[in-house]
């Protein structure tokens, strides 16, 4: 598929749930968010049908997100079904890692190719501050299990937060000297429950990179599924260090994705409130042609660039979109 600007769209991010077992400060309010009723969430059968249609249009890469996707029962079977769809070459999953350890091998056997694990700190006290709940040890066990299960690559997503974890940038980057991890530092985006908080805690990627380079010189590198990251490697590193700057280094000109929310809406852009309700049409008995037309509508609505720099409130926050 190509959008009106000529960008190839071959990547679909699917939120399988709006629920999460953590309450990260840059994502959710402390009390959480009102959850959708079960009937409002796409069934796995509906997700499989939509992916089957999208694959015929050129979607090759699927990423499962949440909330936290591992809180939804049956996620392993969903991966098995998605793996059977002709044209789907790659299935990945983004998780906070705290529930991953006992599931990692089963997920890999089912057909999951890659995992991205959120880890913003190596300090238990800071982990408690950022997530408001959960266990750093559980997250670290999830990372170890992902490596043991044979996922390749295993990426670590670290949101860089001024005044919160900025003193750990070097330590997190240094993980790539010892482990085959691909640590990616991400600028905090104003898509959580508190836009003002995010604005006040932006840590420019130039500063993050400078701190990472205190460990050693970084040379350009590559990694499977690098996406929007600028990727580097230490001379003796076994992993890579990446930087994703949606605010300071926009990459909209090469965006290749659409998003499907847990409640069945196609989003052409993470930072836009424009959505297309596919669930209603699907449940009214739409045929393949009608469903393909919805994807075409989404492509037509895909903007040339986001407007995150405006730091405005959005109708739905990150956990309700699916990242």
The pLDDT tens digits of the residues spanning 91-103 come to 999 999 999 999 9
The pair of three-digit structure tokens given for residue 257, joined into one six-digit string: 């994705």
Mean pLDDT of 155-170: 97
Cα–Cα separations (whole angstroms), residue 101 to 110, 138, 171: 15, 8, 23
Confidence of residue 107 (pLDDT cuts 50, 70, 90): very high
Query: Contact at 8 Å (CB) between 119 and 156?
Result: yes
Q: Cα separation of 9 and 279, whole Å? A: 21
Question: pLDDT of 120-157, one tens digit each?
Answer: 999 999 999 999 998 999 999 999 999 999 999 999 99
Q: Residue 39: inside a domain, yes or no? A: yes
Model-level pTM?
Answer: 0.92
Confidence of residue 252 (pLDDT cuts 50, 70, 90): confident
**pLDDT score for 318:** 63
Q: Cα separation of 79 and 84, whole Å? A: 9
Q: Cα separation of 189 and 200, whole Å? A: 11
pLDDT reading at 222 higher than 70: yes
- Number of Cα atoms under 13 Å in the Cβ half of residue 287: 1
Q: Greater confidence, 249 or 322?
A: 322
Confidence of residue 219 (pLDDT cuts 50, 70, 90): very high
Q: Residue 68: inside a domain, yes or no? A: yes
Q: Residue 274: inside a domain, yes or no? A: yes
Q: Residue 1: inside a domain, yes or no? A: no
Share of the chain above pLDDT 70, in %: 90
Q: Residue 2: inside a domain, yes or no? A: no
The pair of three-digit structure tokens given for residue 90, joined into one six-digit string: 């790659």
Q: Residue 155 maps to which CATH number?
A: 3.20.20.70
- Across the chain, mean pLDDT equals 91
The pair of three-digit structure tokens given for residue 14, joined into one six-digit string: 């699917």
**pLDDT score for 320:** 66
Residue 298 is classified by DSSP as H
Q: Residue 4: inside a domain, yes or no? A: no
Return the SS3 of 266: strand
Q: Residue 42: inside a domain, yes or no? A: yes
| CB within 8 Å of 53: residues ≥ 6 apart | 288, 291, 292, 295
Q: Cα separation of 173 and 239, whole Å? A: 9
Query: Contact at 8 Å (CB) between 256 and 10?
Result: yes
> What residue has token string 């052409």?
268
Residue 79: domain span: 11-321
Cα–Cα separations (whole angstroms), residue 153 to 94, 134, 226, 245: 12, 25, 10, 21
**pLDDT score for 315:** 62
Helix, strand, coil % in the chain, rounded to nearest 5 = 35, 20, 45
The pair of three-digit structure tokens given for residue 79, joined into one six-digit string: 């991966």
Q: Greater confidence, 302 or 277?
A: 277
Q: Cα separation of 256 and 54, whole Å? A: 14
**pLDDT score for 182:** 97
Name the domain count of the chain. 1
Confidence of residue 310 (pLDDT cuts 50, 70, 90): very low
Q: Residue 188: inside a domain, yes or no? A: yes
pLDDT reading at 281 higher than 80: yes
The pair of three-digit structure tokens given for residue 320, joined into one six-digit string: 């309700």
């Amino acid at each position: 598929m190509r959008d009106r600007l000529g960008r190839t769209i071959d990547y679909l991010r699917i939120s399988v749930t709006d629920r999460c077992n953590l309450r990260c400060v840059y994502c959710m309010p402390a009390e959480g968010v009102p959850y959708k009723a079960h009937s409002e969430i796409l069934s796995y059968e509906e997700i499989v049908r939509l992916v089957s249609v999208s694959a015929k249009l050129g979607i090759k890469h699927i990423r499962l997100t949440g909330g936290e996707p591992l809180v939804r029962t049956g996620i392993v079977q969903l991966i098995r079904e998605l793996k059977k769809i002709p044209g789907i070459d790659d299935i990945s999953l983004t998780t906070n890692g705290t529930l991953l350890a006992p599931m990692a091998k089963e997920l890999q056997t089912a057909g999951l190719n890659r995992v991205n694990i959120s880890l913003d700190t190596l300090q238990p006290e800071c982990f408690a501050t950022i997530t408001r709940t959960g266990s750093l040890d559980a997250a670290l066990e999830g990372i170890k299990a992902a490596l043991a299960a044979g996922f390749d690559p295993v990426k670590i997503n670290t949101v860089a937060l001024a005044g919160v974890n900025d003193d750990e940038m070097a330590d997190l980057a240094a993980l790539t000297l010892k482990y085959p991890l691909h640590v990616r530092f991400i600028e905090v985006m104003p898509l959580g429950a508190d836009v003002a908080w995010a604005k006040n805690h932006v840590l420019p990627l130039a500063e993050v990179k400078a701190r990472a380079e205190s460990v050693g010189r970084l040379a350009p590198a590559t990694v499977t599924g690098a996406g929007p990251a600028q990727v580097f490697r230490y001379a003796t590193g076994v992993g890579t260090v990446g930087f994703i700057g949606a605010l300071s280094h926009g990459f909209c000109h090469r965006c290749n994705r659409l998003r499907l929310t847990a409640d069945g809406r196609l989003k052409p852009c993470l930072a836009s409130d424009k959505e297309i309700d596919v669930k209603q049409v699907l449940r009214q008995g739409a045929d393949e042609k009608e469903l393909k037309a919805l994807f075409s509508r989404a492509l037509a609505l895909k903007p040339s660039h986001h407007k995150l720099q405006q730091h405005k409130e959005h109708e739905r926050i990150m956990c309700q979109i699916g990242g």
